[in-house]
Amino acid sequence: MSVATSAVTGSFNFIVDTNNNTVLSANLFGTIITGAQAKVEFDSFMGLFGLEAYYNGNIGVFTDPTYFTKEGTSTQTFGTVSFQVTSYGLSNPSGEVLNDCGVSATITSYTLSVGTPPGTSLLFLVYLQFTGTENGTTSSITFQLVSMTLQS
């Protein structure tokens, strides 16, 4: 799997072997990292999403119907791999005030897309676009899966 983001801050690429939970390499802002440090970087990058999915068995914080609405499911292709992807957006298109886990933030733009690649049981974050304000600081993040290769 190769994952990339594009934003003002730069780009990230990860090569992941999902058969044995190994991150083979990471390219962070042009710096190549391999071995255990590549896994540390991947885990920290995907941490919040992964923790929610692993410990709660779902992605409830990211799809809570109080704030977000399911917009549909479609087949999408990432490199040579195609699978069903479900997308979520804001319930209120003009913005939402999110109060969860002791955090209060105003979300003004949000799109989340997730899916499970064939032959795996892993729920992958394939797209996340988020703009919001917390404590007077505005953040904007875009994460996008651009390519995936499954190997036996």
Q: What is the pLDDT of residue 28?
A: 76
Distance CA 137, CA 16 (A): 33
Long-range CB contact pairs, 56-59, < 8 A, 24+:
59/114, 59/123
Task: Show pLDDT as tens, one digit a residue, over the chain (152 residues).
Answer: 444 433 334 566 777 776 666 777 887 777 888 888 887 777 766 655 554 455 455 566 678 888 889 999 999 998 888 999 999 999 988 888 877 667 778 889 999 998 888 877 777 788 888 888 887 788 887 888 877 776 65
In 46-115 the beta strands, taken as DSSP E runs, fall at 68-78, 81-90, 96-100, 103-115
Q: What is the pLDDT of residue 40?
A: 79
Q: What is the pLDDT of residue 29?
A: 73
pTM for the model: 0.68
Domain map (residue ranges) of the chain: 2-147
In the DSSP assignment, the letter for residue 119 is: T
Distance CA 136, CA 117 (A): 38
Q: What is the pLDDT of residue 8?
A: 36
